A = this chain, B = another copy of it.
Amino acid sequence: MNPVIEQLRSHRSIRKFTDRQIPRDLFEAFIRAGQAAATSSHVQAYSIIHVVTPENRAILAELAGGQPYIADSSDFLVFCADMKRSTDAAERAGADVVRGMTEHLLVASVDTALMAQNIAVAAESEGVGLCYIGGIRNNPAEVSKLLRLPDHVYPVFGMCLGYPDQQPEVKPRLPLESILKTDYYQDTDDAAQVDAFDSEMRRYYQQRTGSNKDTTWSEQLKPLFTTKVRPHMRTFLQDRGFEMK
């Protein structure tokens, strides 16, 4: 296994950071590495808001559901799917532009994620830790207002970056056979594979260093799926010009 693959496989989310700041040239190198990711039709449908004002970071930490590391990390980024820049450019070049297609939502969300993951990999290659913050979608309208996001731009997730002040274990993943299928989707073995994974996760949760608990993967999923999770997302996206036509 080469060092890059080894690095990828040793990822874990970091939620406790030292006071050490990421040097600015390194930070820029991470962003440029992000930009180098593949992008659909070269659209580059993303913008990053680098939140530096402490007051705004404190507000975002609350809006994301009380996640103090948003304020405590060296750098906090909000990754936005951005269909404004490219459609504005096409419009300035004389195009009669159609906006708000469902496809645009997908393209921009995927472009944003590919870029962000490159930033994550670049950061970890320099010993910087990170965690993604999906909680930014808890209150996306307030987040958008705070960051002054225009129409056709929406916050997909955040990312905390900084030097780790904790060394959590790598969290297990589903068995490879469960997610990799040959030629056709079949899930006849799915229940058995999930059972085995549940046992593995129970051992992991019992034995891990921080916040031990007696639970499984399936049990952990239950509260996620028994409620209408983030029911505001549809209306929020439509209000911001992602009309999903």
Interface positions of A (Cβ within 8 A of B): 1-5, 7-11, 13, 28-33, 35-38, 40-44, 46-53, 56, 80, 82, 84-99, 101-104, 106-107, 109-110, 113-114, 116-118, 120-122, 125-126, 131-132, 134, 137, 147-150, 153, 156-157, 170-171, 173-174, 176, 178-187, 190-191, 194, 216-222, 224-231, 233-234, 237, 244-245
Asked whether, in the complex, the Cβ of B32 is within 8 Å of the Cβ of A176, the reply is yes
Residue in chain B with minimal CB distance to A110: B113
A42 to B117, CA, bound (A): 16
Chain B residues whose CB sits within 8 angstroms of the CB of A28 once the complex forms: 176
- Pick 26 A–B contacts, CB within 8 A, sort by A: A5-B29, A8-B118, A9-B32, A35-B176, A36-B170, A40-B134, A41-B220, A41-B221, A41-B224, A44-B174, A44-B179, A50-B183, A84-B187, A86-B221, A93-B221, A94-B222, A97-B226, A98-B226, A102-B234, A106-B137, A109-B113, A110-B113, A121-B121, A228-B245, A231-B245, A234-B244
Which 10 pairs of residues, A with B, have the shortest CB-CB distance? A113-B113, A4-B125, A117-B117, A93-B218, A103-B230, A8-B33, A95-B222, A90-B221, A35-B173, A102-B233
Asked whether, in the complex, the Cβ of B120 is within 8 Å of the Cβ of A85, the reply is no
Asked whether, in the complex, the Cβ of A102 is within 8 Å of the Cβ of B42, the reply is no
A191 to B184, CA, bound (A): 46
Asked whether, in the complex, the Cβ of A229 is within 8 Å of the Cβ of B103, the reply is yes
- CB-contact partner of A225 in B87, B148, B233, under 8 A: B87
Chain B residues whose CB sits within 8 angstroms of the CB of A10 once the complex forms: 36
Q: A48-B180, A134-B41, A219-B93 are in contact. Are A4 and B121 (CB under 8 A)?
A: yes
A24 to B30, CA, bound (A): 31
Chain B residues whose CB sits within 8 angstroms of the CB of A181 once the complex forms: 47-50
Asked whether, in the complex, the Cβ of B80 is within 8 Å of the Cβ of A185, the reply is yes
Asked whether, in the complex, the Cβ of A132 is within 8 Å of the Cβ of B218, the reply is no
Chain B residues whose CB sits within 8 angstroms of the CB of A93 once the complex forms: 216, 218-219, 221-222
